[in-house]
Amino acid sequence: MSRPIPIALTIAGSDSSGGAGIQADLKTFSALGVFGASVITALTAQNTLGVSAIHDVPDDFIAAQMDAVFSDLAVKAVKIGMLSRPGAIRTVAEGLARHRARPVVLDPVMVAASGARLLSDDSLNDLRTILIPAADLITPNLPEAGALLGTAAATTEEEMERQGAALLALGARAVLMKGGHGEGPESTDLLVTADGTRRFTAPRHVTRNTHGTGCTLSSAIAAGLASGLDLPEAVEKAKAYITGAIAAADRLDVGAGHGPVHHFFDLWRD
């Protein structure tokens, strides 16, 4: 007898170069044994050197995609990435409520690895007040956490923990403060919840090929949740996965700029 494969849904923008966004999310789901569905919120013309154009998907079509997926597929977890406009943020929040979608992992994407801004200034407040309270977990990097709180990026673990607690106060049920933008031989993430803080540490691998790291980590967590793991275990397994994908990134030769991580490092024989 076959068993139903867990299904995870990504709601995010498309990356034409395949390293981040919807494409990274679906690769991550597949690598971790989860069936991936998608709702595309924006089309980007980009490569490893940067983003040259963004075409936003109309709000009614975002809603139609969500309704189509949820009316037929047994979605076990949702990952949210690039939402560049207030209308898209509101539409997604309404769709989550309409379909009682849980759990929800929100990656507050603001800037691409190339430096291109992916979130409009007038969207930041809606992200804080509408979408964060709908999330079971948010996964900001250090600059994103600072921007959400209107303060400088954390530089110590103590500051990371304080900022994580401040983000909890915005309504999120849990916050993963990602330390990839920090310094030192180790990359440390802090999972901050009402019950306390857990520390996840891995060796820091120095490479310029980090395109899609945030998308990949949040999708790996969603894959774990869809598979029935509890949140700390999903974070632990996702941390191990992204560490391996970064460590193997230089085995790929994609583009002339910030290349992608290796989503299939444990499956391809290269």
Catalytic residue, from 28, 210, 216, 243: name it. 210
CB contact set of 168 (below 8 Å; sequence gap of 6+): 174, 175, 192, 193, 194
Give yes or no for a contact between 259 and 252, defined as CB atoms under 8 angstroms apart.
yes
- Examine the residue annotation and report whether 50 is marked as an active-site residue of this protein: no
Catalytic residue, from 79, 215, 216, 259: name it. 215
Catalytic residue, from 213, 216, 224, 259: name it. 213
Residue in the block written with tokens 């009402």: 194
- Examine the residue annotation and report whether 215 is marked as an active-site residue of this protein: yes
Q: What are phi and psi of 99, to 5 degrees?
A: -105, 5
CB atoms within 10 A of CB 136: 19
Cα distances (Å, whole numbers) of residue 149 to 102, 129, 164, 165? 25, 12, 10, 11
- Which runs of E-coded beta strand occur in the chain? 7-15, 35-47, 50-56, 75-80, 104-106, 137-138, 174-177, 186-193, 196-203
- Examine the residue annotation and report whether 212 is marked as an active-site residue of this protein: yes
Catalytic residue, from 76, 79, 178, 239: name it. 178
Catalytic residue, from 212, 216, 224, 243: name it. 212
Catalytic residue, from 182, 214, 224, 259: name it. 214
- Examine the residue annotation and report whether 95 is marked as an active-site residue of this protein: no
Give yes or no for a contact between 40 and 12, defined as CB atoms under 8 angstroms apart.
yes
Active-site residue list: 178, 210, 212-215
